[in-house]
Amino acid sequence: KSGVGRITAWYGGANDVYEIEGYDIQSDVLTFSSPGGGIGTNRLYRVSQASTANQSIVVEISSFIPDCDYATHEVSPDGKRATLSCIKPFHNTKLYLVDVQNPANNKLLEGADAAHIPFDLPEISYERATLPSGYEVHIAIMKPPKFDPSLKYPILVDVYGGPNSCKVWRSTPTPNMIHFCSNLGAIVVRVDGRGSCNRGWNIKAPVYKSLGQYEAIDTIAAVKHLIAKYPFMDKERVAVFGWSYGGFLSSHIAIRDQGETFKCAVAVAPVVDFMLYDSAYTERYLGIPLENPSGYNASQLLNKAGLIRNVKYLLAHGEADDNVHFQNSALLAEALQAELVHFTQLVYSNQDHSMGSRQAHLFMEIGRFLAEQCFNEE
């Protein structure tokens, strides 16, 4: 049905619509957020005559604000005004008040001062790459401070990869990745391939009932592409790190790559068998076990543990993890031992999925593992 105040649907084409942010019933103007075809972006849009779903009259409100490709948004109850919290790596968040009907009428409320950071910062760039599969991936590359393109740098690939998730955002990276980049001199790479958010169902669909396969294939292919493209990336010093689903994915990458590209893998609190995980989440993406036995079998790590022998592998888990139960890592360690695979294991007593107060120790050990075992640092 159509008519003012009766919005039934609005489609973002090749991009996801993150959220319907507001609606001005008097003017029939809808506001929504979407990546809008950008890499790691979240922009605010306005569509007039919204009840007719006329896609030809869409205005990007964010374009009226400088450096506001990635933002969080709040729209007033009457749909006439919006605030945009504009985020940029290593900068203060800037808060703007905007007139939805006339976005040129905007005011900076907070964040005018430059961020005071008393040390050299990494630099971040974003790019796209078309892989041999024909799919396009989004990539973020963080280079160490005082980067010198004539040198060779180790590569740390930071993965998550869960369905409808993204790692590539135009925001400040996590402190631990900044630390590894700055202190270990590593180039930190993040890749969003098949299964990731932002780009519509065609990108998400391949991983339905097939977790851990295409995410690994795309990450490996993207890293190979980068190594071939950039002489400053050292192909002999490549590691992958992941936590939770990311640990599941880093392990699949190690299994699939067989040491050809990745020399080290770090898995924190990985799912090793989705038969052991939350059934609501699992069945949403893998279906019912009886109807998709091949998908469950392919996603499992236990039956492939022997293939991890070709990389240096660090496995860490908290014993009190109530999300991904410690049983996962216990069974994986047992399988690795049965296959005579050398690996390093860290067990954190009384720690949950986040590792709580033991995160400092965990990342100290990961840093030592990367430096000594993977990047050959003194």
In a shared domain, residues 166 and 77: no
Domain boundary among 75, 110, 145: 110
Distance CA 27, CA 23 (A): 9
Residues in the chain: 378
In a domain, 5, yes or no: no
Place of tokens 């740098």: 153
User: What is the average per-residue pLDDT within 32-57?
Assistant: 86
In this predicted model, which residue has the larger pLDDT, 296 or 14? 296
Helix, strand, or coil here: 374? helix
In a shared domain, residues 67 and 206: no
In this predicted model, which residue has the larger pLDDT, 292 or 378? 292
Question: Which domain range does residue 319 map to?
Answer: 123-374
Domain boundary among 110, 139, 164: 110
Residue 112 is predicted with a pLDDT of: 77
Distance CA 269, CA 99 (A): 46
In a shared domain, residues 64 and 147: no
Amino acid symbol at 217? I
- Among the listed residues 24, 257, 273, 321, the single catalytic one is 321
In a shared domain, residues 347 and 272: yes
- Among the listed residues 51, 244, 250, 299, the single catalytic one is 244
Lowest-pLDDT range, 25-39, 236-250, 252-266, 322-336?
Answer: 25-39
In a domain, 25, yes or no: yes
Q: What does the buried/exposed string (b/e) look like for 219-258 if buried means 16 or more CB atoms within 10 Å of the residue's CB? A: bbbbbbbbbeeeeebbeebbbbbbbbbbbbbbbbbbbbbe
In a domain, 2, yes or no: no
99 in active site: no
Sheet holding 19-24: strands in order across? 19-24, 29-34, 43-47, 58-60
Q: Answer yes or no: are the C-beta atoms of 247 and 268 closer than 8 Å.
A: yes
**How many domains is the chain partitioned into structurally?**
2
In a domain, 12, yes or no: no
In a domain, 279, yes or no: yes
The answer to whether residue 53 scores a pLDDT higher than 80 is no
Q: Answer yes or no: are the C-beta atoms of 129 and 161 closer than 8 Å.
A: no
This prediction has a pTM of 0.93
In a shared domain, residues 368 and 246: yes
In a shared domain, residues 317 and 231: yes
Residue 2 is predicted with a pLDDT of: 44
In a shared domain, residues 102 and 127: no
Return the DSSP state at 106.
Answer: E
Share of the chain above pLDDT 70, in %: 95
In a shared domain, residues 147 and 28: no
| pLDDT band with cut points at 50, 70 and 90 for residue 171 | very high
278 in active site: no
| pLDDT band with cut points at 50, 70 and 90 for residue 118 | confident
Domain boundary among 110, 139, 154: 110
In a domain, 322, yes or no: yes
- Among the listed residues 27, 133, 234, 353, the single catalytic one is 353
User: What is the average per-residue pLDDT within 187-207?
Assistant: 95
In a shared domain, residues 83 and 189: no
In a shared domain, residues 207 and 343: yes
In a domain, 11, yes or no: no
Reported as a single tens digit per residue, the pLDDT across 281-294 is 999 999 999 999 99
User: What is the average per-residue pLDDT within 312-322?
Assistant: 98
158 in active site: no
In a shared domain, residues 192 and 341: yes
Distance CA 260, CA 307 (A): 12
Sort 116 into a burial class: Cβ within 10 Å, 0-12 / 13-18 / 19+: exposed
User: What is the average per-residue pLDDT within 250-262?
Assistant: 98
Closest CA to 86 of 65, 116, 105: 65
Residue 95 is predicted with a pLDDT of: 98
In a domain, 249, yes or no: yes
Residue 1 is predicted with a pLDDT of: 37
User: What is the average per-residue pLDDT within 225-246?
Assistant: 99
In a shared domain, residues 174 and 48: no
Residue 117 is predicted with a pLDDT of: 86
CA quadruple 202, 208, 212, 214: dihedral sign: negative
